[in-house]
Amino acid sequence: MSEQGRSEQGSAGRVIVALNFPAMEEALAFLERVPQVRYVKVGMELFYAAGTPLLARLKERGLKIFLDLKLHDIPNTVGRAMAVLARLGVDMLNVHAAGGREMMLRAKEGVEKGVLPGQKPPRLIAVTQLTSTDQRVLNDELGIPGTVEE
């Protein structure tokens, strides 16, 4: 394999492509047009519309899945929810860090408890700020001093 071929193959696994579609059919049709995609992000809208059948279809295609639900609730609720989500066989999950340290710890425990025997636990990450946060929202609504760039 050429050096360029190895590079392209390697980068395809590191790029996560957002499936920002309202329905499973649209997401799957998109994936037909970009067969080189190896890792996808499924957000709230698509997951709530298509649910676990979508995840099964994505796994059938051999895709890695980031289930981007940004859980943020009381610690015990997030922990129990993460235990359920960990059983789905996705590769990555997330919480919103604004839920605090205790919530994030419960999320981690939930993932560890929920993963099925022989299954690799999903990576768990925390979102600190939404990409839609602008300077006004940061300072005026959230009360955080400084600039978005900081």
Q: Which amino acid is at 44?
A: M
State the pLDDT at residue 135: 87
State the pLDDT at residue 113: 98
State the pLDDT at residue 13: 64
H or E stretch covering 81:
helix 75-86
Q: Where are the domains of the chain?
A: 3-141
Rounded-to-5 percentages of helix, strand, coil across the chain = 50, 15, 35
State the pLDDT at residue 122: 98
H or E stretch covering 42:
strand 39-43
Are 91 and 66 contacting, i.e. CB atoms less than 8 angstroms apart? yes
State the pLDDT at residue 10: 62
Give the C-alpha separation, 38 to 63, whole Å. 5
Give the C-alpha separation, 94 to 67, whole Å. 7
Residue listed under structure tokens 């990576």: 123
Give the C-alpha separation, 77 to 110, whole Å. 10
pLDDT averages per 10-residue partition of the chain, 150 residues: 46 85 98 96 98 98 98 98 98 96 98 95 90 79 83
CATH, range 3-141 = 3.20.20.70
Give the C-alpha separation, 79 to 112, whole Å. 10
Catalytic residues: 70
CA dist 42 → 22, 101, 137, 138 (Å): 11, 25, 26, 26
CA dist 144 → 21, 44, 100, 103, 136 (Å): 32, 26, 16, 21, 10
